[in-house]
């Protein structure tokens, strides 16, 4: 299929290019068909937070990076959506935090696993865990495909980053004592609520931010990293993320006439 060209001056260029990346990922078997729907849901929530990385998300990303850098065995879980959107950043974050990449799919097909593995190696990964040729163990009380984990990865990991995760698995990871970090545009999702740190932001903005923070913070003493993690309160973070949406909607409601004018003249994207 030919790639759809997005004009550089299109007011919604970034969003449309991200959508193109997901569509291409689907055509390459990286993204599950359900991943297209998940992306659409993410787009809607991104609109509600103003399509920007809020100070709140920045603070959560800082706590997340502190948790990864101070962990004994951090692991980055990779699914189809995140692999299609930010493969290079995943590899970079994995190197900076010494956290292996583990493929862990909800809609498992070997064809998808192979495509994701190839994409990660093409992005510079030297090792990818969670593939069918590796040993596996199971997370108790989880019936989805994601119950299978790599013993050298999530199986023995203490801090696990699970971007765009489903709620059952987050609960199961918590039940077996893992410290869970997620990136989810929906602050009300089960994953967002059950995780220890939730970055309410788009993975296309969060992963580059996390790599930047990891470069800055990697020499910080462990005590300082622990202090950053301990002072983070996810319940407060999520409540404030919902407030961000409410405030953004209220401001939009007050400004709707001006927005129509801007849209017509193409002065500013909103
Ligand atoms: O590749 P697989 O087989 O492991 O499947 C991956 C998906 C994403 C299909 C699977 O985990 C799934 O069905 O996820 P859910 O339950 O639809 O949850 C996805 C969550 O991620 C939703 O809360 C979305 O709002 C959110 N989301 C979608 N796109 C983004 C996002 N959050 C951050 N950045 C995004 N780009």
What spacing in Å lies between the alpha carbon of 56 and ligand 1's midpoint?
21
154-210 residue pLDDT tens: 999 999 999 998 888 888 899 899 999 999 999 999 999 999 999 999 999 999 999
What is the chain's length?
270
pLDDT-derived band at 265 (thresholds 50, 70, 90) equals: low
Q: What is the Cα–Cα distance from 198 to 89, expressed in whole angstroms?
A: 18
What spacing in Å lies between the alpha carbon of 264 and ligand 1's midpoint?
33
The whole-number pLDDT of residue 52 equals 94
Say if residues 166 and 34 touch (Cβ distance below 8 Å).
Answer: no
Ligand 1 surroundings by CB, under 6 angstroms: 32, 34-35, 38-39, 41-42, 45, 79-81, 105-107, 164-166, 183-186, 189, 202-203
| Tokens describing residue 189 | 């999702």
What spacing in Å lies between the alpha carbon of 166 and ligand 1's midpoint?
7
Q: Which atom of ligand 1 is nearest to the CA of 105?
A: 4
Q: Which residues pair with 137 in a beta bridge?
A: 149
Q: What is the Cα–Cα distance from 238 to 244, expressed in whole angstroms?
A: 10
pLDDT-derived band at 270 (thresholds 50, 70, 90) equals: very low
| Mean per-residue pLDDT over the chain, rounded | 92
* Alpha-carbon distances, residue 123 vs 77, 120, 127, 132 (angstroms): 16, 5, 11, 20
Q: What is the Cα–Cα distance from 47 to 44, expressed in whole angstroms?
A: 5
- Stretch 137-158: mean pLDDT: 85
Instruction: Say yes or no to pLDDT of 100 above 70.
Output: yes
Domains of the chain (ranges; CATH) run 55-238 (3.40.50.12640)
Alpha carbons within 13 angstroms on the beta-carbon side of residue 81 total 26
What spacing in Å lies between the alpha carbon of 223 and ligand 1's midpoint?
33
101-112 residue pLDDT tens: 999 999 999 999
Q: Which atom of ligand 1 is nearest to the CA of 85?
A: 36
- Stretch 76-87: mean pLDDT: 98
Q: Which residues pair with 75 in a beta bridge?
A: 160
């Amino acid at each position: 299929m030919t790639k759809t060209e997005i004009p550089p001056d299109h007011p919604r260029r970034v969003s449309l290019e991200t959508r193109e990346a997901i569509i291409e990922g689907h055509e390459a078997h990286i993204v599950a068909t359900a991943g297209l729907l998940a992306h659409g849901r993410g787009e809607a929530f991104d609109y509600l937070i103003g399509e920007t990385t809020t100070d709140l998300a920045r603070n959560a990303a800082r706590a997340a990076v502190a948790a990864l850098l101070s962990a004994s065995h951090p692991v980055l879980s990779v699914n189809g959506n995140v692999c299609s959107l930010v493969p290079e950043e995943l590899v970079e974050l994995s190197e900076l935090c010494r956290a292996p990449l583990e493929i862990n799919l909800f809609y498992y097909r070997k064809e998808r696993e192979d495509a994701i593995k190839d994409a990660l190696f093409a992005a510079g990964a030297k090792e990818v865990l969670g593939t069918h040729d590796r040993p596996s163990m199971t997370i108790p009380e989880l019936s989805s495909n994601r119950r299978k984990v790599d013993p050298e990865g999530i199986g023995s990991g203490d801090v696990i980053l699970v971007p765009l995760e489903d709620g059952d698995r987050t609960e199961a990871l918590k039940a077996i004592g893992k410290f869970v970090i997620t990136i989810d545009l929906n602050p009300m999702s089960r994953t967002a609520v059950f995780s220890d740190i939730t970055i309410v932001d788009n993975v296309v903005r969060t992963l580059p931010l996390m790599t930047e923070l990891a470069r800055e913070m990697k020499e910080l003493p462990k005590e300082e990293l622990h202090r950053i993690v301990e002072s983070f309160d996810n319940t407060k973070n999520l409540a404030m993320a919902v407030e961000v949406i409410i405030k953004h909607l209220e401001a939009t409601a007050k400004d709707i006439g001006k927005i129509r004018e801007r849209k017509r003249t193409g002065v500013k994207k909103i």
